[in-house]
Structure 1
Amino acid sequence: MAEKGDDQKMTDAMQIAARVRHARILKGLRMKDLAERVGYNESMISKIEAGKVTPSLVMLNRIVTALDRDLASFFGLDIDMHRMVLTAKERTVVEGDALRGGKGVSYERMVPLAAGNLLEANVHVVQPGGEKVDNITHQGEATGYVIEGQIELTIDGEVYHMQAGDSFFFKAHLPNSYRNTGDQVARVIWVNTPQIH
């Protein structure tokens, strides 16, 4: 019985971890930003998001409040849904990426952020002149398809000029970036192995 209790504690910690990380990213905050808002150090936020520390109710309430949420809505979304159908209007849109550099890029979430998901997928909407610079490398893979517009994609220093209908694939440990070199919005379906934080 004790082992089952430990398993439940681990599951609860991962649920909280995934929800905190999801809410923080949706808010466009880095771990450092959230830590400053709640008066904890960045290491503590990192441990909470990794599921290594389960915050007390008081600590969790401070974090949730700093993310402009309340505990009821924070736990209202079932992030363990095995399938989800979203219309174009229902997809969560994130302006910019707190973890990566760049400007003029928004992300339409195709897969909800949750612990245990094997894929991360977004539609990258890149304004003319918009760019993304990803200095965060990790194990895994990335693939994508340009739906419309054109981008200049750089993978490990090599530049590729891509337009609607072109696709790409690369190992996620390679540094990469892109920019919209055209005069119209570019849209790119981007799928990758999630980074373990």
Structure 2
Amino acid sequence: MSVPSRIRHLRRKNGLTLEALAGSVGIHKGHLSRIETGEKAPSLATLEAIARALRVGMAELFGEKANEHEITVVRQSERITTGDAGTYLIEALIAGSASRPLASYIVVPGRTFLDHDVPDHVGQEFLYVLQGRVEVAVADQLITLSVGDCATYDAALQHRLRRLGSAVAKVLVVLGKN
């Protein structure tokens, strides 16, 4: 991503209009617009003022580093699990949150679909079979997946997951918000 694109991205991410950021920096909004489109090259002083107004370092404008709040690390020893392997076990790799558009889990489904489950939510769901064989029911479709297979679907559709056979199955489930 170019410096002008990063400025635009950071401005939008912070919920700032062109006028608001330009006012904070002390330049005309038309000038800022031309900087964001790459039509004008800003001076070093203007770039520093933009970085201060966006509350980032110059290195981030140049793409040299990510802010700590943009990176989530969960060590294996910190992972939380719930359920049990006989019926349905979920291990959170990166749990979902309001500020994170993606979440990922390892699911160990039981031999039967959960009857009490109401698994419909917004966004996309992606499944990747790590071990064993599973069957996923999505709306009126039944799909069999084996190791290495993957599927994706609109998570608003009713969906359920179960393993096929007696061998343990493990599925990487990634949830993405729209």
TM-score by length of 1: 0.48
- Please show how residues 24-173 of structure 1 align to structure 2 within 5 Å: 81-95=69-83, 104-127=87-110, 129-132=111-114, 134-173=117-156
Structure 2 unaligned segments of length 5 or more: list them.
1-67
1:178 corresponding residue in structure 2: 161
Given that 1:105 and 1:131 are in contact with CA atoms closer than 8 Å, whether structure 2 keeps it comes out as no
Q: In structure 2, do the counterparts of structure 1 residues 136 and 177 end up closer, same or farther at CA, with 3 Å as the change threshold?
A: closer
Tell me the SS of whatever aligns to 1:110: strand
Deviation digits for residues 22-52 of structure 1 (CA, Å, limit 9, x no counterpart): xxxxxxxxxxxxxxxxxxxxxxxxxxxxxxx
Structure 1 CA distance for aligned equivalents of residues 95 and 156 of structure 2: 23
AA matched with 1:117: R
Structure 1 unaligned segments of length 5 or more: list them.
1-79, 97-102
Shift of 1:184: 1.2
AA matched with 2:143: Y
Shift of 1:126: 2.3
Structure 1 CA distance for aligned equivalents of residues 153 and 113 of structure 2: 18
Aligned CA RMSD, in angstroms, stands at 2.5
Given that 1:105 and 1:126 are in contact with CA atoms closer than 8 Å, whether structure 2 keeps it comes out as yes
Structure 2 CA distance for aligned equivalents of residues 132 and 193 of structure 1: 22
Shift of 1:148: 0.3
Shift of 1:188: 0.4
Structure 1 CA distance for aligned equivalents of residues 114 and 69 of structure 2: 30
AA matched with 1:164: V
Shift of 1:130: 4.8
AA matched with 2:163: N
Shift of 1:165: 0.6
Structure 1 CA distance for aligned equivalents of residues 153 and 176 of structure 2: 11
Structure 2 CA distance for aligned equivalents of residues 171 and 108 of structure 1: 22
Structure 2 CA distance for aligned equivalents of residues 187 and 156 of structure 1: 22
Shift of 1:81: 4.6
Given that 1:105 and 1:130 are in contact with CA atoms closer than 8 Å, whether structure 2 keeps it comes out as no
AA matched with 1:167: C
1:43 corresponding residue in structure 2: none
Structure 2 CA distance for aligned equivalents of residues 139 and 109 of structure 1: 19
Shift of 1:137: 2.1
Shift of 1:136: 3.7
Structure 1 CA distance for aligned equivalents of residues 119 and 90 of structure 2: 17
User: Once the two structures are aligned, what percentage of the paired residues are identical?
Assistant: 22
Given that 2:119 and 2:160 are in contact with CA atoms closer than 8 Å, whether structure 1 keeps it comes out as no
